[in-house]
Amino acid sequence: MTSDIGIVWLGTLASLFAGLATGVGALAIFLVRSVSHRLRDGMLAAAAGVMLAASFFSLLLPGLEYGEKITGQSWSAALIVIFGLLSGATALLFVHQKLPHQHFELGREGADVSYIRGIWLFIIAITLHNFPEGMAVGVGFAGGDINNGYVLAMGIGLQNIPEGLAVAFSLLAIDYSRPRAFGIALLTGLAEPLGGAFGATLVWLAEPLMPWTLGFAAGAMLFIISNEIIPETHHRQWKIMSTFCLLGGFAVMMFLDATLG
Instruction: Indicate the number of domains in the chain.
Output: 1
Which range of residues forms the domain containing residue 90?
Answer: 6-260
Check: pTM over 0.85? Answer yes or no.
no
Residue 174 lies in a domain: yes
pLDDT tens digits for range 68-111: 998 999 999 999 999 999 999 999 888 877 765 455 444 444 44
Biggest distance spanned by C-alpha atoms of the chain: 57
Residue 250 lies in a domain: yes
Both ends of the chain: CA-CA distance in Å? Answer: 16
CA-wise closest residue to 2 among 146, 212, 193: 146
- For residues 137 and 81, the model is more confident at 81
What pLDDT, on the 0 to 100 scale, is given for residue 34? 80
Residue 49 lies in a domain: yes
C-alpha distances out from residue 209 to 32, 135, 139, 144, 199, Å? 46, 14, 10, 13, 11
**Cα–Cα distance measured from residue 153 to residue 137, given in angstroms and rounded to the nearest whole number:** 6
Residue 1 lies in a domain: no
Residue 28 lies in a domain: yes
